[in-house]
Amino acid sequence: MNSRSIRPPWEYLQQATVPALQSFELSRLNHASNLKKEIDTLLEQWLDETAAAMLARFLMEQPSAPEQAAARNASKQFHAAPQEGLARTLVRSRSR
């Protein structure tokens, strides 16, 4: 990336005619607009990459498929228990 410093040509600008100053102004505004477009593109790429990385992190932190299946099976068994068994299950799980 080019990180040059723009130094306006003061002597030229002080002696320039109004049309020359207008032309200089328009060229600088055009350059600024082009830079903004580049920044917008970079910002969008950065957001896309960050979102993809966050999605990967989210997926890594989720339980794996076998763990999810075990949790579903335990949930089914818990909901299928008779009411007395349910109370015992709750008491056991709270005492741990």
Please check the confidence at residue 75 and state whether its pLDDT lies above 60.
yes
Please check the confidence at residue 24 and state whether its pLDDT lies above 80.
yes
1 domain residue, yes or no: no
User: Both tokens of residue 85?
Assistant: 């068994």
What is the reported pLDDT for 77?
65
Q: Determine the structural domain holding residue 28 and report its residue range.
A: 16-62
4 domain residue, yes or no: no
* 32/54 same-domain check: yes
Q: Strand, coil or helix: what is 19?
A: helix
Pick left, alpha or beta for residue 78 (phi over 0 → left; psi -120 to 50 → alpha; otherwise beta): alpha
Overall pTM > 0.75: no
Q: Which residues contact 89 (CB under 8 A, 6 or more apart)?
A: 78, 81
3 domain residue, yes or no: no
* 88/53 same-domain check: no
What is the reported pLDDT for 96?
46
* 25/51 same-domain check: yes
Average of per-residue pLDDT values in the chain: 81
